[in-house]
Amino acid sequence: MQHSSISEHIHGLCHRLVKYPRLWYHKHKSRRLVNQNVSLFCNNCTGGVILHDLSLRFNSPTINLNIQPKDFIKFVRNLKDYMRCELEEIHDASVDFPVGRLSLPKDGGDVYIKFVHYSSFKCAKEKWEERKNRIDWDNIFVLLEGPSFTPELLDMCAEVEYPLSVMGPENPEIEATYPFYHGFKWYNNWHSGKSLDYKHIFSLKRYLDDFDYISFLNGNKS
């Protein structure tokens, strides 16, 4: 118990020591960003953390949530249609967070959204609607992040009409085939949320900082 308490104390002290250097790093990095009003759609929390680190407003509803990759690509391929859909609550006793559904029977089918960082569906839906109304339809970017993707899914990604990047495991063949794919070695030791972790206790950089998301979001404006 005592050893655990000392370890937690040291970890907390280290966190306080790097808090302001990390803030400085992200502020300094954000100076390269020209595109200040981006609407970034992402399948998980990576997009929200990027926007937070750049001190940008959340101009899309996909914040603090998780959408399975296949559902997510289906969603962004029919984005305007899904944004017209009513967000419905789905009761799932197997999880301890709210779950929502967007239904588009004609073209896409159902998209399930796990609101993993929300206390209630009411709160999740309020934030979804609030951020949906901020979308800049002329300034949309799409980011898909995860530990593995099938060729079928990557082919679907190629049909997305908006600027898109995919972060996944290093794979020269996939990277040569799909110019939007960015592979990284650290996916070999992947766990959920690893892209958001700092590389070590005193690091200023998260793993996701290996991806040049500033250039991606600047598009032709860099």
Q: Do residues 194 and 45 lie in contact, with contact meaning Cβ atoms separated by under 8 Å? A: no
**Residue 6: which pLDDT band, with cuts at 50, 70 and 90?**
low
The pLDDT value given to residue 222: 41
173 found inside a domain: yes
Per-residue pLDDT tens digits for 59-68: 999 999 999 9
For residue 35, give its domain range. Answer: 15-65+119-221
100 found inside a domain: no
44 found inside a domain: yes
Q: What's the number of domains the chain is made of?
A: 1
89 found inside a domain: no
80 found inside a domain: no
98 found inside a domain: no
